[in-house]
Structure 1
């Protein structure tokens, strides 16, 4: 009789595979990395890997779901400060942009979403919850007179998500860019964009 895998061991092995896949995707890209490459990196046979993931697509989907969920958990943690700082809490929670691996994986996942319906759905599902939270924050700001009432909260929330998701890619486009100064500048830009018009404040 075969040995029964306990859940902890099963999840631990899945994480090992995901970590190995992550390293392969960084080296070869999501399309360039093969199951055999991932197996070699994880130190297991294809048959063993298929006990945990039925395909490379399943690995990509699991990675996308976990990565995006982690990326967006920063939103909502910042409960104090002005509206712009709260809305950009993910950027304010980051300590630096030194690790370009984060940027490269995000590029890969966004590109994969353009050709893989399941990854696109995962991206949309993860974004929907964050967008709802940001829209609620914007509406509260409008009610207090802190945010331009002419802005559509849903559309503005979507724009803010795009800004935050693109921000970590700056080191790839502009090497050596200063993190702290750029973070402050981005917050100032969003603050000025959101501020009520003079007629609303009078």
Structure 2
């Protein structure tokens, strides 16, 4: 008799595996974290884990997809008349301190591994393309309202914004005397000035 799959239980187990993998990646690095480590962290056998994810790369890809969905959610909570810089930095403004950025540090592992692993590189590139499209659409909407410099190429500017936003979690790693709230205000000011239409 074939066991019936309960969607809610299946998704719950997938999320447990993703959480366990995330902890392993942060602790051991993306390259250093093996499937056996992830299985031990999740409390299951490799055969059981492979029922949900066929490879470590598949786990990473799901993490990247989940992050993009989460980012769309942050952007979607804003009204159309809110400043473009506020919308672009909505994820940062949803946080309460540097500890909330700890999950972003997995990006550093992805960047390092992307230089060695073509599959990870492809996953990271596809995810970044999705983020850039979301940012570019927001920039175009800001240009239509007259609050973003019409001379900015939204697609190119989105790449610069990705670089700035991805670097934010590095601040507390590089120095211990940076205040979260003050840093967030400065980043917002920098983005706002970058986007502002230039006087004729």
**TM tier, shorter chain?**
0.7 to 0.9
**1:90–1:164 contact (8 Å) kept in structure 2:** no
Change in CA separation of 1:118 and 1:66 when aligned onto 2, cut-off 3 Å: farther
Displacement of 1:2 in angstroms is 5.2
- Tell me which residue corresponds to 2:107: 106
Displacement of 1:182 after TM fit? 0.8
Greater C-alpha radius of gyration: 1
Matches within 5 A, 1:169-184: 169-184=170-185
Aligned residues: 199
Q: Is the 8 A contact 1:65 1:122 kept in 2?
A: no
Note if 1:160 corresponds to 2:170. Answer: no
Q: In terms of mean alpha carbon deviation, does 43-52 or 185-194 score higher?
A: 43-52
Counting only pairs closer than 5 Å after superposition, residues 39-188 of structure 1 correspond to structure 2 as: 39-71=39-71, 73-79=73-79, 80-99=81-100, 101-188=102-189
Q: Report Cα offsets for 1:50-89 as digits up to 9, x if no partner.
A: 2222222222222232234324542343224323222222
Superposition CA RMSD, Å: 2.4
Deviation at 1:151, TM superposition (A): 1.7
Answer yes or no: is the 8 Å Cα contact 2:72–2:134 preserved in 1. Answer: no
Shift in Å at residue 107 of structure 1?
1.1
* Distance change >3 Å, CA 63–CA 146, structure 1 → 2: closer
TM-score normalised by structure 2 residue count: 0.84
Contiguous gaps of at least 5 residues in structure 2: none
Does the aligned pair in 1 maintain the 2:68–2:130 contact within 8 Å? Answer: no
C-alpha spacing 1:122/1:72, structure 2 compared with 1 (3 Å): farther
In structure 1, what is the equivalent of residue 28 of structure 2?
28
1:122-180 residue CA offsets vs partner (Å, 9 max, x unmatched)? 33333334323332332343344322222212111221122112212211122242111
Q: Is 1:103–1:172's contact at 8 Å kept on the other side of the alignment? A: no
Please give the alpha-carbon distance, in whole angstroms, between the structure 2 residues aligned to 1:71 and 1:86.
11
